[in-house]
Amino acid sequence: MATIGDLLADATDRLRAAGSETARLDAEVLLGFAVGADRTAIVAHREAPVGVDAASRFEDAVRRREAGEPVAYIRGIKEFHGLAFVADARALIPRPETEGLVDAALAEVMIRLGRRSGEAGRGGRDGADPVHVADVGTGGGAVAVALAAALRARRVEMGRHVTILATDRSAEALDLARENAVSHATADGMRFIEADLLPPVLPDGGALLDVVLANLPYVRTDAIDGLPIAASFEPRAALDGGEDGLDVVRALLERLPDVLAEDGVALFEIGADQGESAPAAVTELMPDWRTSVAPDLAGLPRLLRVERPGS
Ligand SMILES: C[S@@+](CC[C@H](N)C(=O)[O-])C[C@H]1O[C@@H](n2cnc3c(N)ncnc32)[C@H](O)[C@@H]1O
């Protein structure tokens, strides 16, 4: 019977030859998936024998990875913002850099909840209108669900204090988003609506949105073919942002004057090369709105903030 060490050595060589830049890591994660253990157990028990069924599951997984399929689709799971999300070809795999969008949104929501409970006096949060949030282009729901889970951890009651509308043009992606919301018990206070950006009539009686989040497609069409092969397994509609990558972002910017409340804020994940073109698009459409770009942990401009002035 082959040992963990034997299988890892062979698979690492094969995955490296197939072009994976993370061959060893891929092999460890996939072997963990095949034997039903986490990666640390795999690394710590190199001499342990691997049963025939697990070795056969591992062989299938390695073959799929050799063909370029992302590890997250093979495992059917991706960790994001400390939670495990179901990941499959219905939606883009959530990326670690998008966690910054969740953190920024959480801060915006908490600021507004604090303001409202101050204004509502003794009724506190319970006496105030909910903060209305929309995650536009929710894909598998990672941003919306992670935000709802983080709010719950701060004792925010979904539905009563905060509502989250999650939209996508892809019905399949929305099904996955609903499944992820149910599995994290965050579906209360969330709505999933199939729409081109936003529905013509907003839920909750058309209440304006206080915080809009969007990780929309922003890859330039001519750059799609140059992406790593793993991206070719993801829906193209989740990636392709048109000629300059900003077609869908611009379309949402155009909708903001009709849907964003006064003092409302919209947060967009953008490409690292869009730190100038994205805020320029805002200024062109809404010259009196405030806009800024924040860097991510690597110092790259990845988060566009757009704020509607108050009265
Ligand atoms: C880059 S993916 C991001 C998915 C998810 N927000 C995340 O961060 O993992 C973009 C998503 O936007 C959706 N999308 C693209 N154009 C859209 C549109 N016009 N209206 C609604 N959703 C759209 C795609 O179907 C895809 O799910």
DSSP 165-191: EEEES-HHHHHHHHHHHHHTT--TTEE
Residue 72, ligand 1, Cβ within 6 A: no
Copy the structure tokens of residue 164: 């989250």
What residues form DSSP beta bridges with 192? 166
- For ligand 1, atom 7, the nearest C-alpha belongs to 94
User: How many Å apart are CA 183 and CA 257, to the nearest integer?
Assistant: 35
User: How many Å apart are CA 88 and CA 92, to the nearest integer?
Assistant: 8
Answer whether residue 217 shows pLDDT above 70.
Answer: yes
Q: Are strands 290-295 and 77-80 parallel, antiparallel or unpaired?
A: unpaired
Predicted local confidence at residue 267, as pLDDT:
98
Copy the structure tokens of residue 219: 């890859």
Residue 252: exposed, middle, or buried by beta-carbon count in 10 A (0-12, 13-18, 19+)?
A: buried
Answer whether residue 128 shows pLDDT above 80.
Answer: no
Q: Are strands 209-214 and 190-194 parallel, antiparallel or unpaired?
A: unpaired
Give me the percent of the chain exceeding a pLDDT of 70: 97
Tell me the residue type at 22. T
Coil, strand, or helix at residue 1? coil
Instruction: Find out whether 31 and 7 touch, Cβ atoms under 8 Å.
Output: yes
Q: How confident is the model at residue 30 (pLDDT cuts 50, 70, 90)?
A: very high
What residues form DSSP beta bridges with 214? 136, 268
Phi, psi of 93 (to 5 degrees): -75, 125
Residue 237, ligand 1, Cβ within 6 A: yes
Local structure of residue 48 (DSSP, 8 states): -
Residue 168, ligand 1, Cβ within 6 A: yes
Copy the structure tokens of residue 194: 């199939």
Q: How confident is the model at residue 118 (pLDDT cuts 50, 70, 90)?
A: confident
Q: How far is the CA of 32 from the centre of ligand 1 (A)?
A: 31
Residue 100, ligand 1, Cβ within 6 A: no
Q: How confident is the model at residue 121 (pLDDT cuts 50, 70, 90)?
A: low
Answer whether residue 124 shows pLDDT above 70.
Answer: no
Q: What integer is the mean pLDDT of 154-171?
A: 96
Residue 89, ligand 1, Cβ within 6 A: no
User: How many Å apart are CA 248 and CA 254, to the nearest integer?
Assistant: 10
User: How many Å apart are CA 166 and CA 195, to the nearest integer?
Assistant: 10
What are the strands of the beta sheet with 162-168, ordered from one edge?
190-194, 162-168, 131-136, 209-214, 260-269, 301-307, 290-295
User: How many Å apart are CA 229 and CA 224, to the nearest integer?
Assistant: 10
Residue 186, ligand 1, Cβ within 6 A: no
Predicted local confidence at residue 116, as pLDDT:
84
- For ligand 1, atom 27, the nearest C-alpha belongs to 139
Q: How far is the CA of 169 from the centre of ligand 1 (A)?
A: 7
- For ligand 1, atom 23, the nearest C-alpha belongs to 137
Q: How far is the CA of 128 from the centre of ligand 1 (A)?
A: 31
Tell me the residue type at 165. L
Q: What is the pLDDT of residues 245-283, one digit of tens each?
A: 999 999 999 999 999 999 999 999 999 999 999 999 999
Residue 167, ligand 1, Cβ within 6 A: yes
Tell me the residue type at 275. G
Q: What kind and span of H or E run contains 306?
A: strand 301-307
Cβ-Cβ contacts under 8 Å for 64 (sequence gap 6 or more): 74
Residue 91, ligand 1, Cβ within 6 A: yes
Cβ-Cβ contacts under 8 Å for 142 (sequence gap 6 or more): 78, 80, 81, 85, 94, 98, 180
Q: What integer is the mean pLDDT of 74-81?
A: 97
Instruction: Find out whether 155 and 182 touch, Cβ atoms under 8 Å.
Output: no
Tokens 């670690």, located at residue: 96
Predicted local confidence at residue 279, as pLDDT:
97
Answer whether residue 122 shows pLDDT above 70.
Answer: no
